Amino acid sequence: MRFAVIGIDHRHVYDLIGGLLEAGAECAGYDSATTDPKVAAGIAERFPRIAPVEKRRLIEDPAVDLVVTAAVPSDRAAIAVEAMRHGKDVLADKPGLTTFEQLAAMRQTVRETGRIFSICFSERLLTRASTLATQLAMDGAIGEVIHVTGLGPHRLNRALRPAWFFDPVNYGGILVDIASHQIDQFLFYTGCVDANVVSSAVGHFGAPDIPAFQDFGDILLRGDKASGYIRVDWFTADGLPTWGDGRLILLGTKGTIELRKYVDIAGKPGTDHVFLVDGQGTRHFDASGEKISYFERLLADMRDRTETAMTQEHVFTVCRLALEAQAAAVVVTRLERNAR
């Protein structure tokens, strides 16, 4: 399998390239156009054997099987449509698309071309804690999952962000962007094929000179089997030794599983912590040795035209729910909060 990279505006592109190379794919090159030269420099440093190649050559190369994109989020759908129209499957960084119109275009293009459009929801697919939690849940360790709490705090690192990062038109809003991770996890761990957005909110509580930037959001979801709460934000303090204390709590009928994916604050060192509470007691699992299989399964799906890494309908459902939550969100402000 050969892949090409078109859209290098977000650092998640490093994980996508590295994961595919490790899974055995070959990179045909990357389009060097970017809104963030630091990302281009990072690719050259991390992957010195991959050469920059003009976009048109990559799109029209019949030997390229997959196009990878981590472009400005609002540009990803157009790149994906063009790639699929040229006979390529597509792997996009989340959120993959940012509007209902793009979602409709993606559905139509997949239907007409038969190509795969996959989004890498890295907080599940690329964390070893999630791999272990999936196995525990599938083995019935906590019974039926009836509620999921997903927390997605992030550090802003404002000085490192390109200008597009602060405009909701470019990233789709905080619920489309970050909360797509938690929506993916809610559907996956509960087995719900769909859900309703009961309530949602977005707000800005940070720097006053970027008032349009959404730095807080939450969602309440309800499916046919379970409900869930999601909170995302850009308020990770500088004292935390990583970019965010991302957590996931699965409430089951026989116990709970908590994932502390990136840090166990003032607790055990390292990443990928899984805590299980069941009828036998409490246990901690170090999941750092678990295998990440997403990229291998994606390549196998491309070869066999299967859906083992992720179903196409799951991708579209996550996107639709994120868009619905964003569209329905109440805007909360400092004034409203203080009035309460």
CA torsion through residues 177, 180, 181, 182, sign: positive
Measured between alpha carbons, how far is 267 from 280 in angstroms, rounded to an integer? 22
Query: No. of H helices and E strands in the chain?
Result: 13, 14
Q: Average pLDDT of 285-307?
A: 98
pLDDT at 333: 81
Q: Are 85 and 67 in contact (CB under 8 A)?
A: no
pLDDT digits (tens, 9 = 90+) for 193-232: 999 999 999 999 999 999 999 999 999 999 999 999 999 9
Q: 3.90.1150.10, 3.40.1360.10, 3.40.50.720, 3.30.300.30: which CATH number matches 2-120? A: 3.40.50.720
pLDDT tens string 231-279 = 999 999 999 999 999 999 999 999 999 999 999 999 999 999 999 999 9
- The radius of gyration of the chain from alpha carbons, rounded to an integer in Å, stands at 20
Mean predicted confidence (pLDDT) in 157-184: 97
pLDDT at residue 89, as a whole number: 98
Alpha-carbon distance of 273 to 330, in angstroms, equals 34
**Can you list the pairs that 256-262 forms with residues at least 24 positions away whose Cβ atoms lie under 8 Å?**
256/142, 257/133, 257/136, 257/137, 257/141, 257/142, 259/127, 259/129, 259/130, 259/133, 260/129, 261/123, 261/127, 261/129, 261/130
- Tokens at residue 333, please? 């402000």
| 338: pLDDT strictly greater than 70 | no
> Distance between CA atoms of 214 and 330, rounded to whole angstroms?
12
In terms of Cα–Cα distance, which of 249, 244, 275 is closest to 262? 244
Q: Could you tell me the residue ranges of all domains in the chain?
A: 2-120, 124-292+326-330
* CA pseudo-torsion sign 238, 241, 244, 246: negative
CA-based max dimension of the chain:
61
Domain 124-292+326-330: homologous superfamily in CATH: Dihydrodipicolinate Reductase; domain 2 (3.30.360.10)
Whats the size of the chain, residue-wise? Answer: 340
Same fold, 2-120 and 124-292+326-330: no
CB 119 within 8 A of CB 94: yes
Instruction: Give pLDDT tens digits for 67-118.
Output: 999 999 999 999 999 999 999 999 999 999 999 999 999 999 999 999 999 9
Q: In the chain, what percentage of residues exceed pLDDT 70?
A: 98
Q: For residues 78 and 98, what is the distance between their CA atoms, to the nearest angstrom?
A: 11
Q: What is the pLDDT of residue 335?
A: 58
Mean pLDDT computed over every residue of the chain: 96
* 324 vs 316: CA distance, rounded Å: 12
**Contact criterion met (CB below 8 Å) for 59 and 34:** no
Report whether 218 contacts 183 (CB < 8 A): no
Average pLDDT, integer, range 154-165: 95
| Residue 339 reports pLDDT greater than 70 | no
- Position 340 scores a pLDDT of 47
- What tens digit of pLDDT does each residue of 111-151 get? 999 999 999 999 999 999 999 999 999 999 999 999 999 99
| DSSP-based three-state secondary structure for 126 | coil
Q: Give SS3 for 208.
A: coil
Tell me the pairing of strands 117-120 and 281-286: unpaired
In the sheet that 145-153 helps form, which strands lie side by side, from edge to edge?
281-286, 273-278, 256-260, 247-252, 145-153, 227-233, 216-223, 195-203, 330-332
Q: Does the pLDDT at position 163 exceed 60? A: yes
Look at the block and give the residue holding tokens 């009836």: 146
